[in-house]
Amino acid sequence: MPMPEPSPIVVVPGDDPIQIADSPQLDRLRERAEVRVYRDRPADAGEQIARTRDADIVLNSRGQVAWSGQLFGQLPRLKMLTTCSIGVDSIDIAGARQHDVVVSNVPGLTAPVVAEHTLALMLAAAKRLSYQTSELKSGRWTKRTNLMLAGGVLGVIGLGAIGSSVARLAQAIGMKVIAWSYHPSPERAAALGVEFVEFDDLLAAADVVSVHVKLTDDSRGMLGARELALMKPSALLVNTARGQVVDTNALIQALDSGNLAGAALDVFDEEPLPPDSPILNCEQVVLTPHAADQTPAGIELLNTGAVDNILAFLEGAPRNQVT
């Protein structure tokens, strides 16, 4: 009688802070595979390799656990890696491809969750909520002029699932929406009721610019000193995409010089944000710790998508591939 094939091994190499370790989604996975979960981050590359040496599949729940081509080269058993996120900028995609590792992500599922957070940041920046709350808590009755968004123009950079959801929410509060995309189309513009414009024209016309592009070589630093100078002094910048899309030093200079009225950021060049980061000294900012999709429902949507990716791969039908 032939011996049964061993179960594939799935490793979660560093679930810190906890996202999937206690999720019921892992019970579905345990019916098909041996699942090993580490609740803390590996201290270094050596520990990361040691944790995943036997892995057939890696479930990367946190982007702080990064994957280089060199790491893939030291894991000959590894066949597939799925993220618990949309972004894959912590993964060397070319290196994965070179070593025949399938990489999948979880696109689109949390778009309404992130869009709602984006709208909240936009409103908080427009109404100076962070600053005015801080002043009241300090015992000061300080007033600042708020901004009215209804009747204003929202410029959306990147009109994928999240950008489209943000456009709909902005229209619901009375904003006109213009957009720039790598792949504009008249059909998409008509379906969403938006107008596609040139990149510089969007920056010049928008009262709020909201960023929703993934981080690539093309998008890294796409909003620098030149681009920020094109924006109205009364305008706001909202970024829930990736910190490196915006030149942080140029943003701080624009805020401090009065060339920009405010910013609302959920993402940063370095995460966690260092306590001495200069952006913390800017009065006119609203900041959240990369938490746009961190609601119970949003987290479970990401967990579900990642487990679905693994089960599809085990069935021989990989999905959501970025390699």
**Does residue 259 register a pLDDT over 80?**
yes
User: Is residue 47 annotated as a catalytic residue, yes or no?
Assistant: no
Separation of alpha carbons 63 and 105, rounded Å: 12
Tell me the pLDDT band of 1, cut-offs 50, 70 and 90.
Answer: low
Tell me the pLDDT band of 4, cut-offs 50, 70 and 90.
Answer: low
Instruction: Determine what percent of the chain is predicted with pLDDT higher than 90.
Output: 95
**Does residue 5 register a pLDDT over 80?**
no
**Does residue 129 register a pLDDT over 80?**
yes
Separation of alpha carbons 300 and 48, rounded Å: 25
Q: Active-site residue among 271, 283, 300, 319?
A: 271
Amino acid letter, residue 60: N
Q: What angle do CA 131, 114, 227 make, to 5 degrees?
A: 65
Average pLDDT for 50-75: 96
Instruction: Determine what percent of the chain is predicted with pLDDT higher than 70.
Output: 99
User: Nearest CA to 292 among 182, 163, 194?
Assistant: 163
Say if 9-108+296-314 and 111-287 have the same CATH topology: yes
Average pLDDT for 269-279: 95
13-50 pLDDT, tens digit per residue, is 999 999 999 999 999 999 999 999 999 999 999 999 99
**Does residue 220 register a pLDDT over 90?**
yes
**Does residue 70 register a pLDDT over 80?**
yes
Tell me the pLDDT band of 2, cut-offs 50, 70 and 90.
Answer: low
The pLDDT score that the predictor gives to residue 156 is 98
Query: In the chain, at which residue ranges do the beta strands (DSSP E only) sit?
Result: 9-12, 34-37, 57-60, 80-83, 102-104, 153-157, 176-180, 195-196, 208-211, 236-239, 262-265, 285-287
CATH class of the domain at 9-108+296-314:
alpha beta
199-219 pLDDT, tens digit per residue, is 999 999 999 999 999 999 999
77-100 pLDDT, tens digit per residue, is 999 999 999 999 999 999 999 999
**Does residue 134 register a pLDDT over 80?**
yes
Domain ranges in the chain are: 9-108+296-314, 111-287
Q: What are the structure tokens assigned to 38, written together?
A: 């580490």
**Does residue 65 register a pLDDT over 70?**
yes
Separation of alpha carbons 271 and 155, rounded Å: 26
Average pLDDT for 146-151: 97
CB count in 10 Å sphere of residue 205: 18
**Does residue 52 register a pLDDT over 90?**
yes
Average pLDDT for 296-305: 96
Tell me the pLDDT band of 318, cut-offs 50, 70 and 90.
Answer: very high
Rg of the Cα trace of the chain? Answer: 22
The pLDDT score that the predictor gives to residue 64 is 85
Tell me the pLDDT band of 6, cut-offs 50, 70 and 90.
Answer: confident
User: Is residue 36 annotated as a catalytic residue, yes or no?
Assistant: no
User: Is residue 41 annotated as a catalytic residue, yes or no?
Assistant: no
User: Residue 183 burial by CB count (10 A; 0-12/13-18/19+): exposed, middle or buried?
Assistant: exposed
The pLDDT score that the predictor gives to residue 144 is 87
Q: Active-site residue among 28, 53, 290, 319?
A: 290
The pLDDT score that the predictor gives to residue 10 is 98
- 111-287 topology per CATH: Rossmann fold (3.40.50)
The pLDDT score that the predictor gives to residue 251 is 98
